[in-house]
Structure 1
Amino acid sequence: MLARSFMFVPGDSEKKLAKAQDLGADAIILCLEDAVAEANKPQARTMVHAYLEKHKNGSASQLWVRVNPLLSSHLLDDLVGVMGGRPYGIFLPKPSGAEDFKIIDNYLRALEVHHGIDVGSTRVMSVAESCVGTLNQAEFATASSRLCGLTWGAEDMSADLGASTNVDENGVHFLVHRMNRANCLVVCGAGNLQPVDGICADYRNHDQLRDECRRARQEGFSGKIAIHPGQVAIINEMFTPSDDELEYARRVVQAFADANGAGTIGLDGKMLDLPHLKRAQRLLQ
């Protein structure tokens, strides 16, 4: 099953790392980037590597590592520092274009060989969160066979734009961020990547979180980033298909199977065609 909740955990916080396995998140993203002060990055690498080693034989969650951006002086040190712990995947922030993924693919390939990891098995997830990255998002769809998911972010893009905020008086993201979000969803559809919705910054507002999750799932997103432990259970709930939804999807798949290759069928008085089958198959993943 695809991960529904992706919880950020600072890589230099012993207290938060100790609690991470109890959060119930499908995926934990151990952060070496913005959540870690410059002076603490070497220590964070050591702590994240130790965490990965401790849980490499069994973790309740996928273990990802958010490294620093390609243009920073930290990326290679981050990868060298954590790859021995065999993370589930690498979360790459602020990509500019397809070339970024080719470069990190080369780094990962060398480190996989060095550590005896199956070459190509380390996944990559990324986030469109800069102006140049947003402009070049279409390149991401076919940039790397490692890339398996994409999300979007408004905070860094707001900084690029010199904006004082990224939402209006009603808490709705401005058009430029909604465009970035929509592009993220389309790129994922084009590249067969998992689309993951961005954060709900007002982490105490659970009603808003539920609304965002409901809308995101209706649009096609299959998960959401969490920034607070209190968000995880809600995200998991909202992105879990109901028993009725699963049963109907099974009936759709079976009806098409019984139709011996027909492109259009009838079910419960409604006409269904191949997009309905595709949607049902995706739900059952």
Structure 2
Amino acid sequence: MRLRSMLFVPGDRPDRMEKALGVGADALILDLEDAVAPDSKPAARGMVAEFLKAKTERPAPLFVRINPVDLGMVEEDMAAAADADAIMVPKAEGRATMEVIAPYLRRMNKKALLITCETPAAVFTLGDYALFKDLLIGLSWGGEDMAVGVGATANREDGIHTPPFQLIRSLTLFAAHGAGVKPVDTVYPAFTDLEGLAAYAGRARRDGFQGMLAIHPSQIPVINAAFTPSEAEIEHAKAIIAAFDANPGVGALRLDGRMIDMPHLKLAQATLAAAG
């Protein structure tokens, strides 16, 4: 499942869900959590369930973000997500969260993408997810909720995360790769700042993230472009693979005046996979 861009859509706005199908996101997240007021959640569940049931042909996978498991809404939320392609679980805190959600995922034959590091306690549970990798698609993180959790007045300066939030971003990246699932970077809240978004998304791909969350349709083309290898990257990757194919059993080669070895080959293969 290619997840360069994942767009949040309020679960109580069927008109926006319908419109979002055409914006080019790799996945849509029908949101039952933050985008829906508490009194509107029952109605939103019905709207999400009806939308999913009607969309038997989908241009992109449809995720449903349920509410945090400690709020006691898992049964109702998962019932509304019966026809979803996958589940998103917010405010995940390692084994404690997975032990609640795993029975539902297994019974429904679905996988989840978790938003972790939204609470201080979550930072210390990141190693748990490797134990549940068969149930997971990926890991992301949430800087806005974490800022509230630690009492930070801001989590970015000039568009770049401050050191505490750089730390949890990095830990989430390592946890995802350690579990063998997709690392997905968090949202860029300034949705009118497309230049800043392009720079942020470019850094995310450089660092090893495979995609990013989005809060506005205008962000989708920018994110998709950032996480799509350029023609030059693709040609270079093909050249590396061809060089090794032409020299079977050789561990290191010279290409364009530089030495290449097995890590370069693996990166080239990953580049072609990212290019689709």
Q: What TM-score, normalized to structure 1?
A: 0.91
* Counterparts of 1:100 and 1:257, CA distance in 2: 45
Match of residue 176 from structure 1 = 164
Match of residue 38 from structure 1 = 38
Compute the RMSD of aligned alpha carbons.
1.4
Q: Which amino acid letter does the alignment assign opposite residue 22 of structure 1?
A: G
Match of residue 223 from structure 1 = 211
How far apart are 1:154 and its partner, in Å? 0.8
Aligned counterparts, 1:238-257, within 5 A: 238-257=226-245
User: Which portions of structure 1, spanning 4 or more consecutive aligned residues, are displaced by more than 4 angstroms?
Assistant: none
Match of residue 250 from structure 2 = 262
State, as a whole percentage, how many aligned pairs show the same letter.
Answer: 37
Alpha-carbon deviations, 1:18-68, whole Å to 9, x = none?
Answer: 211111111100000111111111111111111111112x11111111011
Aligned length: 272
- 1:141 maps to 2:130: yes
Q: In 1, are the aligned partners of 2:81 and 2:87 still within 8 Å (CA)?
A: no
* Counterparts of 1:263 and 1:76, CA distance in 2: 53
Q: Which amino acid letter does the alignment assign opposite residue 99 of structure 1?
A: A
Aligned counterparts, 1:73-92, within 5 A: 73-83=72-82, 85=83, 87-92=84-89
Q: In 1, are the aligned partners of 2:155 and 2:165 still within 8 Å (CA)?
A: yes
How far apart are 1:14 and its partner, in Å? 2.5
Alpha-carbon deviations, 1:147-181, whole Å to 9, x = none?
Answer: 1211111111111112222223x343221111110
Q: In 2, are the aligned partners of 1:99 and 1:143 still within 8 Å (CA)?
A: no
How far apart are 1:131 and its partner, in Å? 0.8
How far apart are 1:258 and its partner, in Å? 2.5
Q: In 1, are the aligned partners of 2:140 and 2:186 still within 8 Å (CA)?
A: yes
How far apart are 1:220 and its partner, in Å? 1.0
SS in 2 for 1:225: strand
Q: In 2, are the aligned partners of 1:199 and 1:227 still within 8 Å (CA)?
A: yes
Match of residue 152 from structure 2 = 163
Alpha-carbon deviations, 1:71-92, whole Å to 9, x = none?
Answer: 1121221002221x2x111001
Cα 1:283–1:163 shift into 2, 3 Å: same
Q: In 1, are the aligned partners of 2:8 and 2:30 still within 8 Å (CA)?
A: yes
Q: In 2, are the aligned partners of 1:65 and 1:90 still within 8 Å (CA)?
A: yes
Match of residue 24 from structure 2 = 24
Q: In 2, are the aligned partners of 1:11 and 1:48 still within 8 Å (CA)?
A: yes
Unpaired stretches in structure 2, ≥5 consecutive residues: none
Q: In 1, are the aligned partners of 2:160 and 2:200 still within 8 Å (CA)?
A: no
Q: In 1, are the aligned partners of 2:159 and 2:196 still within 8 Å (CA)?
A: no
Q: In 2, are the aligned partners of 1:101 and 1:144 still within 8 Å (CA)?
A: no
Q: In 2, are the aligned partners of 1:102 and 1:144 still within 8 Å (CA)?
A: no
Match of residue 65 from structure 1 = 64
Q: Which amino acid letter does the alignment assign opposite residue 70 of structure 1?
A: V
How far apart are 1:247 and its partner, in Å? 1.9
Partner of residue 210 from structure 1, selected from 191, 195, 198:
198
- 1:237 maps to 2:225: yes
Unpaired stretches in structure 1, ≥5 consecutive residues: 113-118
Match of residue 93 from structure 2 = 96
SS in 1 for 2:35: coil
* Counterparts of 1:2 and 1:109, CA distance in 2: 22
Q: In 1, are the aligned partners of 2:11 and 2:32 still within 8 Å (CA)?
A: yes
* Counterparts of 2:146 and 2:27, CA distance in 1: 24
Q: What TM-score, normalized to structure 2?
A: 0.94
Instruction: Please say which of residues 226-235 and 154-163 is displaced more in the overlay.
Output: 154-163
* Counterparts of 2:27 and 2:38, CA distance in 1: 25
Alpha-carbon deviations, 1:186-232, whole Å to 9, x = none?
Answer: 11221221111111111100110010011111111111111011101
SS in 2 for 1:68: coil
- 1:272 maps to 2:260: yes
Match of residue 10 from structure 2 = 10
* Counterparts of 1:235 and 1:22, CA distance in 2: 16
Alpha-carbon deviations, 1:101-140, whole Å to 9, x = none?
Answer: 2331212223x2xxxxxx4xx1210112211112211222
